[in-house]
Chain A
């Protein structure tokens, strides 16, 4: 899988591109499950936004041929063993749990999602929705302040 490549390649720019592939494959899962709107959101936000943002950051702070240094083989080995143990444990316990699978409910349309997202009654998600929008605004302002204010400070220092 591409995810293994994304964490094992030595060039950061290639890791970012592998991450992009992983995102697109995940969007394929959503299409398989019939959630088209979610797949679209995934494609736009993850592959369109986040992956491109990471690629731009890599290009800004790295030389294109820059390679990260590797850890020792011993460290790779024991960390890999720990992670593998956790993965096997999770998969085995997942196998033993029997899910009661429900079939055949209606497909969720975008209108359903929108109404549920803006519902104020029981089970409505209007409050998290508003909180998320405020969070996004705050993050945008903070990102601009952090990325810009530091350089002003540095200039004052010099």
Chain B
């Protein structure tokens, strides 16, 4: 239990680190995926070891996975649209919504 949660913590903070240090939109997306996945593993671990008779964590992780899939599809559509617009996917170049 501790091991699984510790690994999930490490993966989460690696995702945070990547989110802080990367400039590329797709890399940011990858970091977000790492963080989401770590959280899902936490849900499942707590469900398994603390409330083994119930299924709430299990179902929540299913929902989180579905939302993550939706989020990635939308984010990639946005990235491709922005790339068509600007020919760049660096986060610092994104200023088309500034007035």
Chain A interface residues toward B at CB < 8 A: 1, 3-4, 6-8, 12, 15-16, 19, 22-23, 26, 29-30, 32-35, 38, 41-42, 45-46, 49-50, 53-54, 56-58, 60-62, 68-69, 71, 75-76, 79-80, 82-84, 86-87, 90-91, 94-95, 99-106, 108, 112-113, 116-117, 123, 125, 128, 132, 135-136, 139-140, 142-144, 146-147, 150-151, 154
Which residue of chain A has its CB nearest to the CB of B61?
A: A38
Q: List 27 A-B contacts (CB under 8 A).
A: A3-B14, A6-B18, A6-B30, A7-B30, A15-B30, A19-B30, A19-B34, A26-B37, A29-B44, A30-B41, A35-B58, A38-B58, A45-B69, A50-B33, A60-B83, A68-B24, A69-B23, A76-B21, A80-B21, A83-B14, A84-B13, A99-B1, A104-B52, A108-B55, A139-B71, A146-B77, A150-B85
Contact A140 B15, beta carbon cutoff 8 Å: no
Question: Nearest-CB distance from B5 to chain A (Å)?
Answer: 6
Q: Which residues of chain B (64-99) have a CB below 8 Å from chain A?
A: 65-74, 76-81, 83-85, 89
- Cα A123 to Cα B89 with chains together (Å): 44
Q: Which residues of B contact A105 (CB under 8 A)?
A: 52-53
- Cα A3 to Cα B23 with chains together (Å): 17
Contact A61 B26, beta carbon cutoff 8 Å: yes
Contact A147 B80, beta carbon cutoff 8 Å: yes
Contact A53 B20, beta carbon cutoff 8 Å: no
Q: Which residues of A contact B30 (CB under 8 A)?
A: 6-7, 15-16, 19, 54
Contact A128 B63, beta carbon cutoff 8 Å: yes
Q: Which residues of B contact A147 (CB under 8 A)?
A: 77, 80-81
